[in-house]
């Protein structure tokens, strides 16, 4: 059993929820993906594997995985949201290429620290943040 499964099981158990075969299948597939994906991508890939999991269940399970801290949602303007597993990964932010749609990940410690500082200055209790840099990637200049 992978660590993510253990974490998900504990989360569900604490909430009085059940560990179903659908939830396991979705968890395992999400953990096997190393890109940013849309709900439909995930749904199609599961069906290609021969699993007939409904659209609704994919949405519902992703919500659980987000609440559990295994998955992160990237709100995208003008297109369906993207998701990615973050369990086992360090925090990062994203650049979106407006031409080819490429998503580039980055981490910048000074930005993270200044965010903390700004929040403190406003006596704001930061629980998270969300930084997206829009523009054109190397190939699309």
By the rule CB under 7 A, 94 interacts with DNA:
no
| CA pair distance 97, 100, nearest whole angstrom | 6
What would the x/- binding string for a copy of itself be over residues 51 to 80, using CB under 8 A? Answer: ------------------------x-x---
Tokens of 124: 């704001």
Which of positions 106-135 make contact with a copy of itself (CB under 8 A)?
A: 106, 108, 110-111, 114-115, 117-119, 121-135
By the rule CB under 5 A, 89 interacts with Mn ion:
no
In angstroms, give the least distance from the CB of 109 to DNA: 30
Which of positions 91-110 make contact with a copy of itself (CB under 8 A)?
A: 95, 97-98, 104, 106, 108, 110
Which of positions 96-135 make contact with Mn ion (CB under 5 A)?
A: 105
Using CB under 7 A, which of the segments 27-35, 49-57, 95-103, 119-127 binds DNA? 49-57
In angstroms, give the least distance from the CB of 84 to DNA: 14
Residues near 4 by beta carbon (within 8 Å), at least 6 away in sequence: 27, 31, 70, 85, 87, 88
Q: CA–CA distance from 118 to each of 78, 123, 126, 134 (Å)?
A: 29, 9, 10, 22
By the rule CB under 7 A, 136 interacts with DNA:
no
Residue 112 neighbours by CB distance under 10 Å = 14
Element of type H or E holding 49 = none
105 binds, among DNA, Zn ion, Mn ion, none (CB under 5 to 8 A by kind): Mn ion
Sign of CA dihedral 12, 13, 15, 16: positive
């Amino acid at each position: 059993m992978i660590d993510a499964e253990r974490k998900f099981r504990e989360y569900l158990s604490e909430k009085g929820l059940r560990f179903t075969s659908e939830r396991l299948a979705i968890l395992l597939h999400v953990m096997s993906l190393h890109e940013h994906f849309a709900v439909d991508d995930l749904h199609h890939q599961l069906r290609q594997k021969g699993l007939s999991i409904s659209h609704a269940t994919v949405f519902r399970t992703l919500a659980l995985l987000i609440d559990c801290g295994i998955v992160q949602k990237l709100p995208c303007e003008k297109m369906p949201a993207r998701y990615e597993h973050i369990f086992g990964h360090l925090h990062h932010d994203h650049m979106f290429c407006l031409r080819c749609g490429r998503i580039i990940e980055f981490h910048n410690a000074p930005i993270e620290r200044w965010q903390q500082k700004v929040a403190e200055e406003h006596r704001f209790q930061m629980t998270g943040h969300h930084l997206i840099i829009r523009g054109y990637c190397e190939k699309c200049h």
